[in-house]
Amino acid sequence: EVRLVESGGVVAQPGGSLRLSCVASGFTFDDYAMQWVRQAPGKGPEWVSIITWDGGSTYYADSVKGRFTISRDNSKNTLYLQMNSLRHEDTALYYCARAGGTYFFYYMDVWGRGTTVTVSS
Amino acid sequence: EIVMTQSPATLSVSPGERATVSCRASQSVRSYLAWYQQKPGQAPRLLIYDASTRATGIPARFTGRGSGTQFTLTISSLQSEDFAVYFCQQYNNWPPYTFGQGTKLE
């Protein structure tokens, strides 16, 4: 069974940092680009970041550029999102998603259950 | 950034009826459009990609059509499990990949 399991979501203070993790199983992790997508309460999904299969290329939404860093460890089948300089508007459910499609024409074909990040003082 | 606009925001339908959800892109996304279903407390699930290709395990009652800037998702005969929120997402112009704001079937 293909699975993505996120962890690391907590209540953090504005300006703080945290790291999210996503462990993949049931497929060959390093065959796929991987993404982070977030969803604020009552809102539609918002794409956050993507990383290629080898970690060689990364892209970010303007809203997180310079503050968040996506990375992966293919030996551990794990995707990460380092989140720095947190803002109230970063409060959301963060999903890890596998990239379906080809060469950046990507949709999200498998999603995890998400991990909740709350930024509050 | 491409803006995706869905209509209507809410669609009131009955089981057995046909439902059609629309999605409009602010500029052409060719056929690089996906549809997702999200039920309360669950992650989105991929239904359709490349505008009209059903994802693995998706029933034939789900049909995606369109190209360029206008797209539709039709559910031919609503089942009780189809009452959910539906999102479209373009992946032609990136970053960012962008989603519509959602249509709730109730």
Which residues, other chains included, contact B38 with Cβ-Cβ below 8 Å and sequence gap of 6+? B44, B45, B84, B85, B86, B87, B102
**Strand pairing of B45-49 and B53-54?**
antiparallel
Residue found under tokens 């009955």? B14
| pLDDT score of A102 | 87
Q: Amino acid identity of A104?
A: F
Instruction: Share the mean pLDDT of chain A.
Output: 96
Q: Say yes or no to pLDDT of A32 above 90.
A: yes
Q: What percent of chain A has pLDDT over 70?
A: 100
**CB-based contact, B23 to chain A, within 8 Å:** no
User: Which residues of A are less than 8 Å from B42 in CB distance?
Assistant: 113
Distance CA B31, CA A31 (A): 24
Q: Do A107 and B99 touch (CB under 8 A)?
A: no
Q: Say yes or no to pLDDT of B15 above 90.
A: yes
Distance CA A70, CA A35 (A): 8
Cβ-contact A111, A118 below 8 angstroms: no
Q: Say yes or no to pLDDT of A67 above 90.
A: yes
Mean pLDDT on A28-40: 97
| pLDDT score of B99 | 97
Q: Say yes or no to pLDDT of A104 above 90.
A: no
**CB-based contact, B64 to chain A, within 8 Å:** no
CA B10 vs CA A1, A9, A77, A97, B57: distances in Å: 34, 31, 39, 26, 26
| pLDDT score of A1 | 95
Instruction: Give φ, ψ of B102 to 5 degrees.
Output: 105, 150
Q: Do A107 and B100 touch (CB under 8 A)?
A: no
**CB-based contact, B9 to chain A, within 8 Å:** no
Compare B56 and A102 and report the one with higher pLDDT: B56
Taking the CA atoms of residue A19, residue A58, residue B67 and residue B53 in that order, the dihedral angle to the nearest 10 degrees is -70
Closest to B99 in 3D by CA, of A82, A35, A57 = A35
Distance CA A7, CA A4 (A): 10
- The minimal CB distance from A44 to the residues B32, B49, B102 is found for B102
| pLDDT score of A103 | 86
Distance CA A17, CA A78 (A): 19
| pLDDT score of A14 | 97
CB-side neighbour CA atoms (13 Å) of B66: 26
**CB-based contact, B104 to chain A, within 8 Å:** no
| pLDDT score of B48 | 98
In tens, the pLDDT along A41-64 reads 989 999 999 999 999 999 999 999
In tens, the pLDDT along B62-96 reads 999 999 999 999 999 999 999 999 999 999 999 99
